[in-house]
Amino acid sequence: MADFQFTGIEKSFTKGVPILSGLDLTVKSGELFFLLGPSGCGKSTLLRIAAGLYDPDKGDVLLDGKSILGLPPEKRNTPMVFQNYALWPHMDVFENVAFGLRARKESNAQIKEKVGQVLESVRMSEYANRKVTALSGGQQQRVALARALVLEPSVLLLDEPLSNLDAKLRDVMRSEIRNICKSRGLTAIYVTHDRREALGMADRIAVMKNGKFCQIGTPREIYQYPANRFTASFLGDANFLSGRCIGKDGDCYVFETPCGKMMASAKRDIEADKEYDLMFRPEAVKIDTVPGQHNTFTAEVKESMYLGELTQMTLECGSFRFDAGEQAAPERNTGMQLSVSIPPNHLICLEKTEE
């Protein structure tokens, strides 16, 4: 296990067009860390710098406090699992997994023992002699993972490894990859644009945009308390209500909004008489609330979609439209007037931006 650090990383492929801009990051030993962001944000470039496939224009890469920047990929012990698996089609499963060990000139006895153990851990022992071209996508992904694990990596790098699998198999493999990493105490950096993947698997997440980190934290922290509008929207459905701060009431700030006065328990200093975006998730909306509760107002049902265990609705209060989700809801028809509320601790104050 090892701590892994990026310090001051900058990278451009075209002069004057930065891909990565002065990134600092420490991935802790034994941590499953996710780089999450849209296509083109620089997350895969950063992973390839970790692997030694790219050199940064500036900055350093440290493994347990020692620079590995000058080392070629095969000397770093940071194997990568690719999106397209990158398996040798002319080799069977055993030889694909053994490839790195043979390159290290390990003995046949050692190779047999190590490959056997890692194939068992990914539940592929019975396929050891099968050509990889005869395997399903999920099985090929397990072989690609086994090929990296057999090298006993200091840091395991995964570049959108599940993007080619169907939805059901992705769910299975998410659980398996996390369990394998945790059972082995692996330090791992995982790149994805899939928020469900990141929220469900990560110890911590760095949300990226335009080559910079927007926010770093645990899945719960960045989902419930996003630092900015981009992070809030990228991590899930979000409503934004414009509000002007008009004072404080105990630990809460009071805002004037299109839905009346609203209270929010902010984790930061809020300036009086300033406009903010008040963010709340659809699932935070409480329906049929008792009058007199904080942040209660009336809204009209504009759209309603019954999805079994969940009813998704678009509601309207004056000129403000927002989304709400209700578990085990009674029938909600268009035009109905509902009493709704948003708990103050679910109303998050964000700086107004042009996002």
Q: What is the pLDDT of residue 292?
A: 67
Q: What are the tens digits of pLDDT across the range 147-191?
A: 999 998 999 999 998 887 788 878 888 888 898 899 889 999 999
User: CA 39, CA 285: separation in Å to the nearest integer?
Assistant: 31
Q: How far is CA 249 from CA 225, 265, 270, 296, 347, in A?
A: 21, 10, 13, 16, 15
Q: Please, are residues 8 and 59 in contact by the beta-carbon 8 Å criterion?
A: yes
SS3 177: helix
Q: What is the pLDDT of residue 354?
A: 63
Give residue limits of the domains in the chain: 4-233, 237-351
User: Is pLDDT above 60 for 355?
Assistant: no
Q: Which residue has the tokens 């903010």?
A: 276
Cβ-Cβ contacts under 8 Å for 220 (sequence gap 6 or more): none
Q: What are the tens digits of pLDDT across the range 280-296?
A: 999 999 998 666 678 99
Q: What is the pLDDT of residue 9?
A: 98
Beta bridge partners of 244: 256, 275
User: CA 40, CA 49: separation in Å to the nearest integer?
Assistant: 15
DSSP 120-167: HHTT-GGGTTSBGGGS-HHHHHHHHHHHHHTT--SSEEEESTTTTS-H
Q: Residue 307's pLDDT band (boundaries 50, 70, 90)?
A: very high
User: Is pLDDT above 80 for 64?
Assistant: yes
Q: What is the pLDDT of residue 301?
A: 97
Q: What is the mean pLDDT of the chain?
A: 92
Least confident interval from 80-84, 147-151, 245-249, 303-307: 80-84
Give the homologous superfamily in CATH for domain 4-233.
Answer: P-loop containing nucleotide triphosphate hydrolases (3.40.50.300)
Q: Residue 122's pLDDT band (boundaries 50, 70, 90)?
A: confident
User: Is pLDDT above 90 for 202?
Assistant: yes
User: CA 279, CA 298: separation in Å to the nearest integer?
Assistant: 18
User: Is pLDDT above 90 for 326?
Assistant: yes
Tell which CATH architecture fits domain 237-351.
Beta Barrel (2.40)
Residues in the chain: 355
What does DSSP assign to residue 290? P
Q: What is the pLDDT of residue 176?
A: 85
Q: Residue 31's pLDDT band (boundaries 50, 70, 90)?
A: very high
User: Is pLDDT above 70 for 322?
Assistant: yes
SS3 28: coil
Q: Where are the beta strands (DSSP E) in the chain?
A: 4-14, 17-27, 32-36, 58-63, 66-67, 80-81, 156-159, 188-192, 204-209, 212-217, 239-249, 252-257, 260-264, 275-280, 286-287, 296-306, 310-317, 320-327, 337-341, 348-351
Q: Please, are residues 252 and 239 in contact by the beta-carbon 8 Å criterion?
A: no
Q: What are the tens digits of pLDDT across the range 80-119?
A: 998 887 889 999 999 999 999 998 999 999 999 999 999 9
Beta bridge partners of 314: 303, 323
Cβ-Cβ contacts under 8 Å for 212 (sequence gap 6 or more): 21, 22, 23
Kindly state the average pLDDT of the residues 52-73. Answer: 94
Kindly state the average pLDDT of the residues 236-256. Answer: 94
pTM score of the predicted model: 0.90
